[in-house]
Amino acid sequence: MSTDTGHSSTIVDGTWAYNETEKLNDWGYRAMHESIVLSKQIVTAFYEQPIDYSYYSGCSTGGRQGLLEIQLHPESFDGVLAGAPAWWFKHLQPYAAWLGKLNSDHPAGTNPGHIPASLFSAIEAEVMRQCDPSDGLVDGIITDPKMCHFQYEALLCKGSSSTTTACLTSAQLDTLSQIYHPYMETDNTFVSPGLELGSEAEWPVLLGDPNGGCPLGFGYIQNYMGKGEDWS
C-alpha cells in the first residue's frame, strides 16, 4: 500500500498545510495508520488467509512516517526500513531556514561571508581530498565524516591569487565553519546538528539561493506553523 496522506503537491510546496489542522494530522500520522489498517483488511480478504509478515520502506518524510508508525503502533510492522528520516521537524525545518539566512546575500553584496553556489564543487573537492583517506582507503568514499579533522585554511585564498572558483575568503570560511558545526541559539540552546563533511552535493537546495530562500525551511514556518505567506 501507499498513501498521499490526503494532499497533492510538489516537494517544496507546503501551502496546503496553512490553517489546515486536520490535513496536518493526516500528513503527520493519521493517514498512514488508517491506510495500513485498511490495506491489511484488503490483503487478508484477497488471499483468504492471515498475513504472515508486514514490512515498511520509506525515506525522508517516508522515513519519518515509518518511525512514527512503529512508535505509536508497534504491532503494525515486523520490520521497517527508515531511510534518511526527516525527524524532529520543529528543529529540522527552522534549521533549514537558518541555513538559508546564514548564506543569504540580499541585497546583493551585503554579506561578505556569502558562499556562491559556484564554489560548492571546490569545497566538495577539498573535503574529499582531506577526508577520503581518513578511513585508511582512498576510494572516493568518506566512510565516517566525524573521523576527518578538516583543515579549513586549505581553502583560504592566498594573496592576490583570489579567484571566485577555487578558494574562499576569511569571511566565507567563517560561514563554512558554521555550516558544518551545530546550530546553537544565542542562549547556547542546541537546535540541530550541522551538515556533515561530504554533504556538499546537496547544498544547492539548502544554501544555493543567494536571497536566503530555502522553502523547506521558511515554507514550514509560513504554512505548518501558521505564520502566513507574509512572514519573512
User: DSSP state, 195?
Assistant: P
In a domain, 186, yes or no: yes
Instruction: Say if residue 101 is in the same domain as residue 147.
Output: yes
**Residue appearing with cell numbers 566538495:** 124
The predicted pLDDT at position 232 comes to 80
**How far apart are the C-alpha atoms of 230 and 232, rounded to whole Å?**
6
Whether residue 13 contacts residue 219, with contact meaning beta carbons closer than 8 Å, is answered with yes
Same structural domain, 41 and 120? no
User: Do 40 and 105 have their domain in common?
Assistant: no
In a domain, residue 143? The reply is yes
Domain-embedded: residue 7: no
Torsion, Cα of 129, 122, 120, 193 (10° steps) = 30
Same domain, 39 and 21: yes
Instruction: Determine the number of helices (DSSP H) and then strands (DSSP E) in the chain.
Output: 8, 4
User: Both 106 and 149 in a single domain?
Assistant: yes
At position 165, the amino acid (one-letter code) is: T
pLDDT for the residue 59:
93
62 shares its domain with 123: no
Chain-centre distance of CA 218, in angstroms? 13
Of 25, 57, 83, the last residue of a domain is: 83
**Same domain, yes or no, for 110 and 188?**
yes
Instruction: Read off the C-alpha cell for 44.
Output: 487478508
Residue 178 and residue 63 share a domain: no
pLDDT at 205 (0 to 100): 87
- Summarize the chain as % helix, strand, coil (round to 5): 50, 5, 45
- Cα(187)–Cα(223) distance, integer angstroms: 27
Tell me the per-residue pLDDT of 70-84, one tens digit each, with 9 for 90 and over: 999 999 999 999 999
Q: How many domains would you assign to the chain?
A: 2
151 is a domain residue: yes
- Domain contains 9: no
* Residues 109 and 191 placed together within one structural domain of the fold: yes
C-alpha cell at 189: 540552546
Give yes or no: residues 128 and 219 share one domain: yes
Give the residue ranges of DSSP H helices in the chain: 21-25, 31-47, 61-72, 89-102, 120-131, 170-180, 203-207, 215-219
Cα gap 25→76, rounded to integer Å: 19
What pLDDT shows up at residue 32?
95
- Give the strand pairing for 190-192 and 79-83: unpaired
Residue 79 sits in the same domain as residue 94:
no
Indicate the pTM of the whole model. Answer: 0.85
What range defines the domain where residue 126 resides? 89-224
Of 30, 59, 83, the position where a domain reaches its end is: 83
Low-confidence ranges of the chain (pLDDT < 70): 160-165
pLDDT at 214: 82
Residues 22 and 42 in one domain: yes
Establish if 199 belongs to a structural domain.
Answer: yes
Q: Is residue 155 packed enough to be buried (19+ CB in 10 Å), middle (13-18) or exposed (0-12)?
A: buried
Task: Give residue 165's pLDDT.
Answer: 67
